[in-house]
Structure 1
Amino acid sequence: MHNFRDFNVWKRGTELVKNIYSATSDFPSEEKFGITSQIRRCAVSIPSNIAEGSGRKTDKDFSNFLSISLGSQYELETQLIVSSSLGFLQEKVLEELLNELNEIQRMTRALIDKFS
């Protein structure tokens, strides 16, 4: 078992959640239950799966939850790109979020390799 608060990737994931909430706050109101909700839930699942996996008994189990988190990261990346193409995100904001997300992806893959 691991303490999720000790992992920088979890810390970065929680920061990403705050940035996602901020970036989606200006999305059209008709998207409140559409892409806005989907993006936010997806972002929250990134550090949540890291935390849940850290409480598992084996490193293999932890690695599986890291993989689930990584899947959510790629899902979020897609949703952000779609949001930009729909005109909901400015290109600069998209670039900043994707840079942040790509770093989290790199960190997650490194942990998966470590605990697999």
Structure 2
Amino acid sequence: MKKFRFAEQLRGAALSVSNNIAEGSGSNSAADFKRFLNYAHRSIFENANILLVLNLRLLVSDKDLADLLEDLDILARMISSFSKSLK
């Protein structure tokens, strides 16, 4: 049962990243879009935290954790760069 709750939390946090980007893309201003990009960026850190907890509980291997954290870091940098490019 615990594994299912963790999986649901991770799915929700992951979906939050793309949902916030999608919602922000419908904004009427760059400032509003940036706000949603910030929410997406913060959701990446939520994903990282969930993965760290899963690793501590031995549900995610060290190698998988490192790979996933690297992917999240790349995504966070992409969102930050995109946000900075908006005027």
TM range (shorter): over 0.9
TM-score by length of 1: 0.70
Amino acid at match of 2:49: T
Q: Name the Cα RMSD after superposition.
A: 1.2
> 41, 50, 54: which is aligned to 1:83?
54
> Aligned-pair distance for 1:115?
2.1
Show the counterpart of 2:63: 92
> 23, 45, 56: which is aligned to 1:52?
23
1:30 aligns with 2:25: no
Show the counterpart of 2:74: 103
Paired with 2:7 and 2:51, the residues of 1 have a C-alpha distance of 10
Which stretch of structure 1 is more off in the superposition, 106-115 or 56-65? 106-115
Could you say which structure has the higher helix fraction? 2
> Aligned-pair distance for 1:47?
1.1
Gaps of 5+ in 1: 1-28
> Aligned-pair distance for 1:91?
1.0
Q: Percent identical across equivalent pairs?
A: 30
Paired with 1:67 and 1:99, the residues of 2 have a C-alpha distance of 19
Show the counterpart of 1:13: none
Show the counterpart of 2:42: 71
For 1:44, what is the secondary structure of its paired residue?
Answer: helix
**Superposition misfits of 4+ residues, deviation over 3 angstroms:** none
Amino acid at match of 2:80: R
Aligned residues: 87
Paired with 2:63 and 2:34, the residues of 1 have a C-alpha distance of 33
TM-score by length of 2: 0.92
Paired with 1:41 and 1:55, the residues of 2 have a C-alpha distance of 21
